[in-house]
Structure 1
């Protein structure tokens, strides 16, 4: 039964389509017979439509403003070469590749041979020469070509691996023989050029 206390609630349920059976028949009957009740239903229907329309307009204007903000951002195309991040990435890549190329192609000293070299020492008794040995290291070095250093070990700097090398001791001097060319050498910890 519809009374003044529940009239607004019943109208809301009717407009929402939630009434069934006897309540629905009672509301339809009252609409036909009571013009004041019919007017209240029409008024509430208009209010609901107006609220929906306002919500729709607000959403529409909000979406349009968002679209305009985005539209300003998407219209501008920045060319690849004007993007600073790509400049930094390209510069770093170039430096890494150049550094690797330099490191891999940098010639560093390479020890190519380590062993002992026989030394012919003149006998003081006039008999055959006596053999002695000294430690030998051959290093292919980018700064020194055809150099030597003789501390505890005789170190030859240069491409000596394929050469026939011999050392003999004559008249209180050591003579290094490379490519059938004699070179006088002395024990010293500094690096010297081999000179005939």
Structure 2
């Protein structure tokens, strides 16, 4: 049961994709029913993204500073110092690789897809259709591959990347089309996890 004492922890686990099915469904139901809760989830998602960007930028700057300091020091190195320098460089590269792997190996990718009118449609999006849809991609879901779930958030299950996706709205049919690498898939708002079929 979600309450004020545990909701921050539950939202964190939801955004990490580490909740059990029942709790995940409870969170999604509460997001649909409670606008304030939905806004808290969205805010926490943006905070996590900002922290990740900040950590990557800080590591990049630290590595840049180290290399800049080393380039400023012109000296003759003995063989022993060369070995230490090579070992330290290898350690830095391995540490940076592990850091990046940990940050990119998460099972979820989150972002926003802009909603456009389907090709050939005229006018603007209806007022009840949002111009952006929060999107979560679950890459490591064993039981689902190339599936979706669409409520206030579009959840995609499979090996997707935000760069290969587009979301279009068809006003004549009052439905959406998901474009994956220029292949078009009709999708409908529903609570069930559904396979993507052309």
State which structure, 1 or 2, has the greater radius of gyration over its C-alpha atoms: 1
Structure 2 length-normalised TM:
0.39
Higher RCO, Cα 8 Å, sep 6+: 2
Structure 1 length-normalised TM:
0.39
